[in-house]
Homo-oligomer: A and B are copies of this chain.
Amino acid sequence: MDMIEQIISLALFEDAGLGDITSESILPASRQGTGIIIAKQDCVLAGTQVARKTFCMLDPGMHIQMMYTDGDTVQKGSVVLEATGDLLCMLKGERVALNFLQRLSGIATLTKTYMQALGHSRVRLTDTRKTTPGWRRLEKQAVRAGGGCNHRFSLYDGILIKDNHIAVAGSIAAAVEAVQKQASHLMKIEVEVSDMEQVKQALSAGADVIMLDNMSCKAMAEAVAFINGRAVVEASGNVSLDTLHAIAATGVDVISCGALTHQAQAVDLSMQIHSLPGISNT
Protein backbone atom coordinates (compact mmCIF):
# COMPACT_ATOMS: atom_id res chain seq x y z
CA MET A 1 0.00 0.00 0.00
CA ASP A 2 1.65 3.24 -1.08
CA MET A 3 1.50 6.43 0.98
CA ILE A 4 -1.47 7.88 -0.88
CA GLU A 5 -3.47 4.73 -0.29
CA GLN A 6 -2.43 4.90 3.34
CA ILE A 7 -3.82 8.36 3.82
CA ILE A 8 -7.06 7.49 1.97
CA SER A 9 -7.35 4.38 4.06
CA LEU A 10 -6.80 6.35 7.27
CA ALA A 11 -9.43 8.86 6.15
CA LEU A 12 -12.00 6.20 5.29
CA PHE A 13 -11.31 4.50 8.57
CA GLU A 14 -11.83 7.62 10.65
CA ASP A 15 -15.10 8.44 8.90
CA ALA A 16 -16.64 5.04 8.32
CA GLY A 17 -14.34 2.42 9.81
CA LEU A 18 -17.00 1.03 12.07
CA GLY A 19 -19.77 1.55 9.55
CA ASP A 20 -22.39 4.15 8.70
CA ILE A 21 -25.10 3.40 11.20
CA THR A 22 -27.69 5.57 9.52
CA SER A 23 -27.31 4.15 6.04
CA GLU A 24 -26.77 0.57 7.18
CA SER A 25 -30.01 0.71 9.13
CA ILE A 26 -32.01 1.93 6.15
CA LEU A 27 -30.45 0.73 2.90
CA PRO A 28 -31.23 -2.71 1.52
CA ALA A 29 -28.06 -4.71 0.88
CA SER A 30 -26.55 -4.26 -2.58
CA ARG A 31 -28.63 -1.24 -3.55
CA GLN A 32 -27.02 0.57 -6.49
CA GLY A 33 -26.75 4.30 -6.86
CA THR A 34 -25.32 7.01 -9.03
CA GLY A 35 -23.72 10.27 -8.01
CA ILE A 36 -22.15 13.35 -9.53
CA ILE A 37 -19.62 15.75 -8.08
CA ILE A 38 -20.31 19.35 -9.09
CA ALA A 39 -18.15 22.45 -8.87
CA LYS A 40 -19.98 25.14 -6.91
CA GLN A 41 -17.44 27.78 -7.92
CA ASP A 42 -14.85 28.32 -10.66
CA CYS A 43 -11.66 26.50 -9.77
CA VAL A 44 -8.62 24.56 -10.95
CA LEU A 45 -9.05 20.87 -10.21
CA ALA A 46 -6.62 18.68 -8.31
CA GLY A 47 -7.11 15.39 -6.51
CA THR A 48 -9.36 13.77 -9.09
CA GLN A 49 -7.43 10.50 -8.91
CA VAL A 50 -7.66 10.49 -5.13
CA ALA A 51 -11.40 10.97 -5.34
CA ARG A 52 -11.65 8.08 -7.78
CA LYS A 53 -9.43 5.87 -5.62
CA THR A 54 -11.47 6.66 -2.52
CA PHE A 55 -14.62 5.23 -4.07
CA CYS A 56 -12.79 2.27 -5.62
CA MET A 57 -11.18 1.31 -2.32
CA LEU A 58 -14.70 0.98 -0.91
CA ASP A 59 -16.23 -0.70 -3.96
CA PRO A 60 -13.67 -2.08 -6.44
CA GLY A 61 -16.52 -2.43 -8.93
CA MET A 62 -17.53 1.23 -8.73
CA HIS A 63 -17.63 2.76 -12.21
CA ILE A 64 -16.13 6.24 -12.24
CA GLN A 65 -16.23 8.56 -15.21
CA MET A 66 -13.92 11.57 -14.97
CA MET A 67 -15.12 14.58 -16.95
CA TYR A 68 -11.96 16.56 -16.17
CA THR A 69 -8.45 15.86 -15.04
CA ASP A 70 -6.03 17.56 -12.63
CA GLY A 71 -5.03 20.98 -13.86
CA ASP A 72 -8.26 21.66 -15.74
CA THR A 73 -10.05 24.89 -14.99
CA VAL A 74 -13.75 24.21 -14.44
CA GLN A 75 -16.66 26.63 -14.31
CA LYS A 76 -19.20 26.80 -11.50
CA GLY A 77 -21.85 24.20 -12.22
CA SER A 78 -19.63 21.78 -14.10
CA VAL A 79 -19.93 18.08 -13.39
CA VAL A 80 -16.47 16.86 -12.46
CA LEU A 81 -17.04 13.15 -11.97
CA GLU A 82 -19.88 10.63 -12.20
CA ALA A 83 -19.88 7.46 -10.13
CA THR A 84 -22.13 4.42 -10.38
CA GLY A 85 -21.97 1.53 -7.98
CA ASP A 86 -22.89 0.27 -4.55
CA LEU A 87 -24.97 2.99 -2.89
CA LEU A 88 -23.74 2.29 0.64
CA CYS A 89 -20.11 2.57 -0.47
CA MET A 90 -20.90 5.79 -2.30
CA LEU A 91 -22.42 7.32 0.83
CA LYS A 92 -19.44 6.16 2.88
CA GLY A 93 -16.94 7.63 0.44
CA GLU A 94 -18.74 10.88 -0.38
CA ARG A 95 -17.40 13.10 2.40
CA VAL A 96 -13.85 11.76 2.24
CA ALA A 97 -13.62 12.15 -1.54
CA LEU A 98 -14.97 15.70 -1.31
CA ASN A 99 -12.66 16.62 1.55
CA PHE A 100 -9.66 15.59 -0.54
CA LEU A 101 -10.90 17.21 -3.73
CA GLN A 102 -11.86 20.47 -2.08
CA ARG A 103 -8.57 21.09 -0.36
CA LEU A 104 -6.37 19.93 -3.25
CA SER A 105 -8.35 21.99 -5.77
CA GLY A 106 -7.98 24.89 -3.36
CA ILE A 107 -4.22 24.56 -3.63
CA ALA A 108 -4.27 24.26 -7.42
CA THR A 109 -6.57 27.27 -7.68
CA LEU A 110 -4.37 29.41 -5.44
CA THR A 111 -1.24 28.35 -7.31
CA LYS A 112 -2.87 29.34 -10.60
CA THR A 113 -3.54 32.78 -9.16
CA TYR A 114 0.13 33.14 -8.29
CA MET A 115 1.18 31.93 -11.74
CA GLN A 116 -1.10 34.46 -13.38
CA ALA A 117 0.43 37.18 -11.22
CA LEU A 118 3.86 36.15 -12.52
CA GLY A 119 2.67 36.62 -16.08
CA HIS A 120 5.34 35.82 -18.63
CA SER A 121 8.23 35.77 -16.18
CA ARG A 122 10.71 32.92 -16.77
CA VAL A 123 11.02 32.43 -13.00
CA ARG A 124 10.18 29.02 -11.53
CA LEU A 125 7.57 29.20 -8.71
CA THR A 126 7.87 26.32 -6.25
CA ASP A 127 6.21 25.02 -3.14
CA THR A 128 8.01 24.26 0.15
CA ARG A 129 7.82 21.57 2.84
CA LYS A 130 5.06 23.55 4.61
CA THR A 131 2.43 20.99 3.61
CA THR A 132 -0.29 19.16 5.46
CA PRO A 133 1.43 16.30 7.33
CA GLY A 134 0.63 13.04 5.54
CA TRP A 135 -0.48 14.80 2.33
CA ARG A 136 2.83 15.99 0.89
CA ARG A 137 2.72 14.03 -2.33
CA LEU A 138 -0.87 15.03 -2.99
CA GLU A 139 -0.26 18.69 -2.30
CA LYS A 140 2.85 18.78 -4.47
CA GLN A 141 0.82 17.30 -7.32
CA ALA A 142 -1.82 19.98 -6.71
CA VAL A 143 0.82 22.68 -6.98
CA ARG A 144 1.86 21.23 -10.35
CA ALA A 145 -1.79 21.05 -11.39
CA GLY A 146 -1.95 24.79 -10.74
CA GLY A 147 1.09 25.39 -12.93
CA GLY A 148 3.76 25.60 -10.22
CA CYS A 149 6.89 23.51 -9.75
CA ASN A 150 8.04 21.39 -6.84
CA HIS A 151 10.93 22.03 -4.50
CA ARG A 152 12.56 18.99 -2.85
CA PHE A 153 10.02 16.44 -1.60
CA SER A 154 11.67 15.79 1.74
CA LEU A 155 14.82 15.87 3.80
CA TYR A 156 16.28 12.93 1.88
CA ASP A 157 15.91 13.86 -1.77
CA GLY A 158 17.48 17.31 -1.74
CA ILE A 159 20.28 19.02 0.13
CA LEU A 160 19.73 22.36 1.81
CA ILE A 161 22.40 23.69 4.15
CA LYS A 162 20.94 26.10 6.72
CA ASP A 163 22.31 28.20 9.56
CA ASN A 164 22.37 25.32 12.04
CA HIS A 165 24.42 23.19 9.70
CA ILE A 166 26.84 26.03 9.09
CA ALA A 167 27.18 26.67 12.81
CA VAL A 168 27.97 23.03 13.56
CA ALA A 169 30.33 22.62 10.60
CA GLY A 170 32.17 25.84 11.40
CA SER A 171 31.80 27.46 7.99
CA ILE A 172 29.85 27.24 4.76
CA ALA A 173 32.85 25.69 3.08
CA ALA A 174 33.16 22.99 5.72
CA ALA A 175 29.45 22.21 5.51
CA VAL A 176 29.49 21.93 1.74
CA GLU A 177 32.54 19.70 1.82
CA ALA A 178 30.98 17.37 4.41
CA VAL A 179 27.86 16.99 2.31
CA GLN A 180 29.75 16.43 -0.95
CA LYS A 181 31.53 13.51 0.66
CA GLN A 182 28.37 11.77 1.88
CA ALA A 183 25.78 12.52 -0.75
CA SER A 184 25.31 10.93 -4.13
CA HIS A 185 26.91 12.70 -7.10
CA LEU A 186 23.41 13.12 -8.53
CA MET A 187 22.42 15.76 -6.00
CA LYS A 188 22.93 19.48 -6.17
CA ILE A 189 23.86 21.35 -3.03
CA GLU A 190 21.82 24.34 -1.94
CA VAL A 191 23.00 26.80 0.70
CA GLU A 192 20.69 29.22 2.50
CA VAL A 193 22.28 32.66 2.94
CA SER A 194 21.12 35.96 4.34
CA ASP A 195 23.65 38.50 3.12
CA MET A 196 26.21 39.15 0.42
CA GLU A 197 29.10 37.92 2.51
CA GLN A 198 27.45 34.50 2.75
CA VAL A 199 26.61 34.58 -0.95
CA LYS A 200 30.32 34.88 -1.68
CA GLN A 201 31.22 32.08 0.69
CA ALA A 202 28.56 29.77 -0.75
CA LEU A 203 29.70 30.45 -4.26
CA SER A 204 33.34 29.81 -3.55
CA ALA A 205 32.42 26.67 -1.59
CA GLY A 206 30.87 25.29 -4.75
CA ALA A 207 27.14 25.59 -3.98
CA ASP A 208 24.97 24.64 -6.96
CA VAL A 209 21.98 26.59 -5.68
CA ILE A 210 21.92 29.61 -3.38
CA MET A 211 18.81 30.47 -1.41
CA LEU A 212 18.45 34.15 -0.54
CA ASP A 213 16.45 33.99 2.66
CA ASN A 214 14.30 36.95 3.67
CA MET A 215 16.49 39.43 1.84
CA SER A 216 15.22 42.73 0.44
CA CYS A 217 14.58 42.96 -3.27
CA LYS A 218 17.46 45.35 -3.59
CA ALA A 219 19.86 42.96 -1.88
CA MET A 220 18.55 40.09 -3.98
CA ALA A 221 19.16 41.99 -7.20
CA GLU A 222 22.73 42.66 -6.10
CA ALA A 223 23.24 39.00 -5.27
CA VAL A 224 21.87 37.92 -8.64
CA ALA A 225 24.25 40.31 -10.35
CA PHE A 226 27.19 39.08 -8.33
CA ILE A 227 26.41 35.38 -8.83
CA ASN A 228 25.97 36.05 -12.52
CA GLY A 229 24.87 32.55 -13.55
CA ARG A 230 27.49 30.69 -11.53
CA ALA A 231 24.72 29.14 -9.36
CA VAL A 232 20.95 28.83 -9.47
CA VAL A 233 19.43 31.57 -7.30
CA GLU A 234 16.32 31.00 -5.19
CA ALA A 235 14.31 33.63 -3.33
CA SER A 236 12.56 32.61 -0.13
CA GLY A 237 10.53 34.42 2.53
CA ASN A 238 7.77 37.03 2.44
CA VAL A 239 6.43 35.73 -0.83
CA SER A 240 2.82 36.77 -1.41
CA LEU A 241 0.67 37.95 -4.27
CA ASP A 242 1.70 41.49 -3.33
CA THR A 243 5.45 40.91 -3.40
CA LEU A 244 5.67 38.31 -6.14
CA HIS A 245 6.19 40.64 -9.05
CA ALA A 246 8.95 42.63 -7.42
CA ILE A 247 10.78 39.49 -6.36
CA ALA A 248 10.65 38.08 -9.86
CA ALA A 249 12.03 41.35 -11.13
CA THR A 250 15.25 40.86 -9.12
CA GLY A 251 16.28 38.22 -11.64
CA VAL A 252 16.21 35.20 -9.31
CA ASP A 253 15.70 31.83 -11.00
CA VAL A 254 13.35 30.30 -8.46
CA ILE A 255 10.82 31.65 -5.97
CA SER A 256 9.70 29.24 -3.26
CA CYS A 257 6.43 30.01 -1.56
CA GLY A 258 4.88 28.23 1.44
CA ALA A 259 1.59 30.08 1.02
CA LEU A 260 0.68 27.91 -1.98
CA THR A 261 -0.09 25.14 0.46
CA HIS A 262 -0.53 26.61 3.91
CA GLN A 263 -2.76 29.52 2.94
CA ALA A 264 -4.99 27.59 0.52
CA GLN A 265 -8.67 27.24 1.43
CA ALA A 266 -11.08 24.56 0.28
CA VAL A 267 -13.02 25.33 -2.87
CA ASP A 268 -16.70 24.46 -2.95
CA LEU A 269 -17.64 21.14 -4.52
CA SER A 270 -20.62 18.98 -3.65
CA MET A 271 -22.02 15.57 -4.51
CA GLN A 272 -25.54 14.63 -5.53
CA ILE A 273 -26.36 10.98 -5.05
CA HIS A 274 -29.42 9.08 -6.25
CA SER A 275 -30.51 5.62 -5.39
CA LEU A 276 -31.28 3.44 -8.39
CA PRO A 277 -34.43 1.72 -7.15
CA GLY A 278 -34.89 -1.91 -7.95
CA ILE A 279 -31.31 -2.43 -9.09
CA SER A 280 -28.94 -4.44 -6.95
CA ASN A 281 -25.35 -5.35 -7.66
CA THR A 282 -25.66 -9.11 -7.27
Do residues A133 and B99 form an inter-chain contact, with CB atoms below 8 A? yes
| The 4 residue pairs across chains A and B that have the minimum distance between CB atoms | A11-B133, A25-B182, A158-B186, A262-B266
Contact of A2 among B17, B21, B188 (CB under 8 A): B17
Q: How far is the CB of A125 from chain B (nearest CB, A)?
A: 11
Q: List 13 A-B contacts (CB under 8 A).
A: A3-B10, A18-B153, A19-B137, A21-B159, A22-B179, A26-B179, A95-B129, A99-B129, A99-B262, A103-B262, A157-B186, A157-B187, A262-B265
Chain B neighbourhood of A168, CB < 8 A: 26-28, 31, 87, 275, 277
Chain B neighbourhood of A135, CB < 8 A: 132, 134
Work out how many copies of this chain go into the complex.
6
Do residues B234 and A185 form an inter-chain contact, with CB atoms below 8 A? yes
Do residues B185 and A254 form an inter-chain contact, with CB atoms below 8 A? yes
Task: Give chain A's interface residues, CB within 8 Å of chain B.
Answer: 1-3, 6-11, 13-28, 31, 33, 87, 91-92, 95-96, 98-100, 102-103, 124, 126, 129-137, 144, 149-162, 164-165, 167-169, 175, 178-179, 181-188, 190, 208-209, 232, 234, 253-254, 262-266, 273-275, 277
Chain B neighbourhood of A13, CB < 8 A: 2-3
By DSSP majority rule, is chain A's interface helix, strand, loop, or mixed? Answer: mixed
Do residues B185 and A20 form an inter-chain contact, with CB atoms below 8 A? no
Q: How far is the CB of A159 from chain B (nearest CB, A)?
A: 5
Do residues B150 and A16 form an inter-chain contact, with CB atoms below 8 A? no
Closest to A261 in B: B266
Closest to A167 in B: B275
Do residues A184 and B134 form an inter-chain contact, with CB atoms below 8 A? no
